[in-house]
Every structure is written in structure tokens, then in C-alpha cells.
Amino acid sequence: MRENVVYGDLSQIPKEKFVFVHDGERISDKKFDDKPVGYFKDAWIRFRKSRASVVAAVIIILIILYAFAAPLLIHHSASFMDPSYAKKAPRILACLNAGFFDGATKRDFSERGLVKALSVGIGAEDYDGRGVALEEGMESYYQPMKSIGQSRTVINAAKKETSIYPGRIDTYLEVGFVYKNIPQSEYKKICEWEEENGLHVFYPLVQDNEWNMDYSDANNWYKSKKGDPVTVSEDGKAKTIPYGPGMILEDNYKRDADGNLVYWEYSGGGSFETAQYRVRMLYYNYYRYQNGMEPEYIFGTDSQGYDLAVRLGDGVKLSLLVAVCVSVINFVLGAMYGAIEGFYGGVVDITLERVSDILAGVPFIVVATLFQIHLAAKVGPIPSLLFAFVLTGWIGTASRVRTQFYRFKNQEYVMAARTLGARDRRLIWKHIFPNSLGTIITSCALTIPGVIGQESMLSFLGIVKLGTAKVTSLGTLLSDANGIWTNYPHLMIVPAVFLSLLMICFNLFGNGLRDAFNPALRGVEE
């Protein structure tokens, strides 16, 4: 049996007897930081390690900045609408000759349709009725045809051969000429603007005769028969003008008794100021007169003529506002409800759970529809939508909080605090709730994309009406594009991209928050 060794007073041993075993040696290259790391700082350190979450957070910030900056940086206001430029493709003035974002679209033209499109540029140069050849019209700044491909022969519905010309056309310049009734005072203002800027707004009126297919269409300025351009001989016989080099369209302008071109005609009004003039104008220059700039829409225009870039900003703001408000309200209600359930348990938990089960059994779409039918007329569509989300939206958060409280309420540190006399309120909010914070924050972050998706679905289906001059949503924009997106793909693609980015990025962001606020990973290095 080993004997116990009893040491005497160590203070009696001389200092020279003590020797450092590793004297002069470095036992570790690791530097130890004795500074305390806070809970949120530690969460930020872990969050930065998730590259996907950081990228998602950056994209979310950029989308939010765009939503608030777009109405300030873009020339058009949210209420600005131009029906003449509805459903137009994206157009940036700096890209007019780049082949993209130039407001142009690809299209196949019959020979008749091609001449009709070319006539806009030819007519824009023929403001004095002198006669303009095709080559000069092609060089016009107002020529909508960007390019014309090699023709091909096809069999039409009448089983006759016809030529088809592929081409790209500027959808803004394609509008061409329009008829308008304006006061005499505005007519004079536009004439002064023409002189100052060296541009033409007013063009000769067109005769309403047998050579005019449609008198309401201001682009029918040249003589035509059955849609084909013709030249009329002195004996009244019409000869079709073929498309090709040197083509000159014969105008059908109104002229007075002296042979002068007529640019306006009286259409109503009694006094000098109120007299109405019927005029024919080149709409592109009229737009410049009204707005002080050429039409420029970076994302194009929607189905009504609003600037799609501004409408997208408004839609993102509305979707985020609804989602954040719902998330915050659900956070508060769910946290309080779940904390009471999980902490007290027993009869309290059973009673509150039955209430939750009853509410959870009510279909959300039924609640949203009923609220829109009966409540939206009194409080508005947005508040009624918030009520629909909040009525049952907090149940998921309450369930998660309840689970976390059951997990932590019997831990040793809680029992120690209770033994020291801590009250229930302090135990709930000081000791248990902080450990549940990661799960709660994650659920709130993941609630946002869910709300955005549901709000977009309700708007898309027309259950929630958010399409007004001042208010719109991503779902409303998608709904407007639903039946026409094959011909105007930008109406569907641009809102869908924004909606997809919001949904994906908020989910990635929520996953990053889940790991960052997980107390089990505190201080753990990967």
C-alpha cells in the first residue's frame, strides 16, 4: 500500500529549487483573446461566414434602395401615364444604336405592312408635301424600322404566294402620327416651341376620300387602295407602287383652293382662347414638347402606359411594407402567446392550444376573400389584407416559441434563477426568451417571403385589388401581363425576376440568421 506523503510548509523551500520546465519555450502559437464577445457580435461573426446569406442580404438591400430611389431618379412620377406608349419595350436613349434596350422588337411584315411602317419615317420628313423617297425616309431620325431582313415567300390563307419581311421596329416611333383636338392657345405655344427647337410637331391634315382607308388613322397620309400604296393618274386610275429602292409615296394631304397645305381645322369653341383646332401631329415630338425629353423607359411600360420601372418600385415597397408589418405583428403576438403556453403548460397550454387549432383550421384564402368583400370597402384593401394575415399568421411563431420554452424552462440555470427568487416575468424574458431568440428571428425572416408570395398570389388572382394610379403590387403587375406576355414578354419577365429575387434572397437570409442566432453554435469556429 502506497504511503501518504505529507509536505511541509512550501514557503520554507528556497526559490532556487523551483525550475520552469518549459523555460524559454513557446508552448502554443495560438493567441488568446481575453476580450468578451457579445451575443449579437458573435452572431454577426457567424453570419458573415455564410457567403450565400451575405450575398442575399446585399441583394435585398439593393432592391430596397431601388424601390425608394427609383421614383426620385426616374423622370416620370408614379401617376404619369401615357396610353399611346402602353406595352412598349424597354428603351434607354444611350442604347438606341446598340441593338438592345432600344425600344425595338422583332416582327414579320407583309409588303403592305412594311410600307405602312416605313411611311412613318417618310412622312416625318415630308412635312411640306414635297415628296420624299424611300432612301431619305430610311435615314430619318423618326424612322421606326431598325432593320429589314431578306424576304421569303409563304402561302397565305387564300393559298396565294406572298412575301414576308423579317425586321426590327422601334415600338415608340411606330406610333407615328395622331389626330388631336387642342385649344388655339396651345396651338400657338406648340408653334413657338417648333421654332425654338427646330422640330416639327404639326403635319398636314389628310383628305377623307376614296384613297384613305381609315380617316381616324393619322398614319394613312399617302394614297392607298385596299391597303396598297398607289399613285393616281390624271384620268383617276390607280397604279400600285411596289416596295423597293426609289419608292416615293404619293401624299393625300388636304389643300386649300390655292393649293396650300392645311395644318388645322376648326372643330368647336366660341372664343379665341377656347376655339378647338383639329390637328395632325407627330406624337414623338409632341411627347418631347409635353415632357421636355424623349421617351425613355428602362423597363418599358405596362399595359396601361405607366413607367414599369416606377411601378416596380412601388410594388416592391408595398410588398415589403405588408410583409414587414405582418412579420412584426406576428412576432409580438406569437412570442407572447407561445411564451405563456410553454412556460406555464398544463391547463393553460391545453386551452390556448385548442384556440390555436381552431384558428389554424380556417383557410387563409377564405379569410382574405371575405375580408376583401366585407371589410375592404370600409378600411381599404391594404388594412383588410393585414387583418387577414395577422388573424392566423402568428400561430406558427407561437408554436415555435412554445417548443423552445418547453426545451429550456427546466434547464439548470432557470432552476437556479427560480431558487434565487426570480419572478416568472424575469424567468420568461431574461433567461428563457433570449435562448429562443434565434428561432424566433429566423421564423420572422422566413415569414417575409411567405407573405410576399401570398400577397402576390392574391393580387394575381384578383382577390385583392391593388392596381390604382398610386398603388400597385408585384402580383398586380403579373396579373396585368398574364394574357399578353407572349407578345410583350418584358411585362412578365421583369416583375417575375424581382419577385423571385425577393423570395430566394429572404429565404437564404433567414437561413443565415438561423445559424447566426443559434446559441448552440456560440463560440464555435468552422
HEC assignment per residue over 265-289: EEEECCCCCCCEEEEEEEHHHHHHH
> What are the tens digits of pLDDT across the range 321-341?
888 898 888 888 988 898 888
How many Cβ atoms are within 10 Å of 175's Cβ, its own excluded?
Answer: 22
CATH superfamily of the domain spanning 52-71+306-521: MetI-like (1.10.3720.10)
At 1 the pLDDT is: 47
| Longest Cα separation, the chain | 143
pTM for the complete prediction?
Answer: 0.80
Computed over every residue of the chain, the mean pLDDT equals: 85
Quickly tell me which residue has 394631304 as its cell: 253
CA distances from 48 to 56, 118, 168, 436 (A): 12, 58, 48, 21
* Residues ≥6 apart with Cβ < 8 Å to 188: none
> What are the tens digits of pLDDT across the range 346-366?
899 899 999 998 888 888 888
Query: Per-residue pLDDT for 156 more than 80?
Result: no
At 449 the pLDDT is: 86
Query: Per-residue pLDDT for 5 more than 80?
Result: no
**Mean pLDDT, residues 487-499 taken together:** 91
* Residues ≥6 apart with Cβ < 8 Å to 523: 37, 42
> What are the tens digits of pLDDT across the range 286-330?
999 999 999 999 999 998 899 999 999 988 988 888 888 988 888
Residue 159 pLDDT class (50, 70, 90 cuts): confident
The ranges assigned to domains in the chain are 52-71+306-521, 91-291
At 475 the pLDDT is: 87
* Cα–Cα distance measured from residue 434 to residue 38, given in angstroms and rounded to the nearest whole number: 13
* Residues ≥6 apart with Cβ < 8 Å to 84: 175, 178, 283, 287, 305
How many Cβ atoms are within 10 Å of 197's Cβ, its own excluded?
Answer: 12
DSSP H helical ranges for 177-291: 184-197, 283-291
Q: Report residue 480: phi and psi, to 5°.
A: -65, -30
CB 79 within 8 A of CB 314: no
**Mean pLDDT, residues 366-382 taken together:** 85
CB 456 within 8 A of CB 331: no
* Cα–Cα distance measured from residue 359 to residue 168, given in angstroms and rounded to the nearest whole number: 57
Q: Name the percent of the chain lying above pLDDT 70.
A: 90
* Cα–Cα distance measured from residue 222 to residue 231, given in angstroms and rounded to the nearest whole number: 9
Q: Please give the single-letter amino acid code of residue 58.
A: V
Residue 21 pLDDT class (50, 70, 90 cuts): low
- Of 55-69, 436-450, 496-510, the range with the lowest mean pLDDT is 436-450
At 400 the pLDDT is: 86
* Per-residue buried b or exposed e for 64-93, using 16+ beta carbons within 10 Å of the residue's own CB: eebbeebbeebebebeebbeebebbbbbee
Q: What dihedral do alpha carbons 75, 170, 137, 240 form, nearest 10°?
A: -140
* Cα–Cα distance measured from residue 251 to residue 48, given in angstroms and rounded to the nearest whole number: 70
